[in-house]
Amino acid sequence: MSRPLSRPPSAVASGLASRAVAYAVVVFLLLPTAIVMPMSVSPEKYLQFPPSGFSLKWYSAYFTDRDWIDSTLFSLQTGLVAAASATVVGTMAALALVRGKVRGKSIVELLIVGPVIVPHIALAVAMFLVFDRLRLTGTLLGFAMAHTVLALPFVIFTVLAGLYRYDADLEMAALSCGAGRLRTFWHVTLPMILPSVLSAALFAFIISFDEAVVSFFISDLDHKSLPRKMFEDIDYDISPVLAGVATMLTLLTIAVLIAGHYFRQLSDRRAAAAHAEGAAK
């Protein structure tokens, strides 16, 4: 019985160096968050690290401040509407790209990537000029439209990954049995890709909720998003409330990422089960 070949020392050293660099980058990215969280429970009236004590009064100040709550609720409404619209449009676009015959498919895919490649400051200026003439600045509809455009590429890519995991023969079998395309999508395609669709909706929501650049341009004095409110607070009154809001946003993002990872694992298990069932038949 032959013994397994051992890796050469140079390969082992290279692997260890790569891991060390990767861990160092992760620590560097997470370090600001690790500093902000303790600052949010400081009893002092200014940002201080390390905190001199423990107090939740800044979280209480956030929940009792009408401006903070209004901005949060506005961002929440915008995120829900943008997530719903981006998920519907993105799912249909992904389905057309994978299952349909789209002319100029490469051009369409390039246009889809556009909001990711183009700097957000350029998109923000363009949207402001258009929305200002249409009187959409500071409105829920204007925010939802802008954030839908920004979240749409991520929804399409996520749903595309889900569609590529499944065999189109399952849909063809339903069509050959007399089901229409809409019924096939509702009873066959959508249940298969549902974890990917839910994951895409979560990503769209968090992209909308955290978006700052475009929101800064299309806000007004009465209707502003939470990131815009945070920028204003930095300009006029830097307090640990900012650290508390940043901590809550971080926890929300982590929760969404965990949920997205769960839905992705669920999609992988469904795809594996579908492939195993198809191979057995």
State mean pLDDT over 173-191.
Answer: 70
State mean pLDDT over 129-150.
Answer: 86
Q: For residues 1 and 266, which has the higher predicted lDDT (pLDDT)?
A: 266
Q: How confident is the model at residue 277 (pLDDT cuts 50, 70, 90)?
A: low
Q: Is the full-model pTM beyond 0.85?
A: no
State mean pLDDT over 51-65.
Answer: 80
For 23, the token pair is 């861990």
User: What percentage of residues in the chain have a pLDDT greater than 70?
Assistant: 81
State mean pLDDT over 39-66.
Answer: 78
pLDDT 10s digits, 188-218: 777 777 888 888 888 889 888 888 888 888 8
pLDDT of residue 1: 46
pLDDT of residue 85: 92
User: Residue 112 above 70 pLDDT?
Assistant: yes
Q: For residues 82 and 47, which has the higher predicted lDDT (pLDDT)?
A: 82
pLDDT of residue 84: 92
pLDDT of residue 139: 85
Domains of the chain: 65-280 (1.10.3720.10)
Q: What is the mean pLDDT of the chain?
A: 78
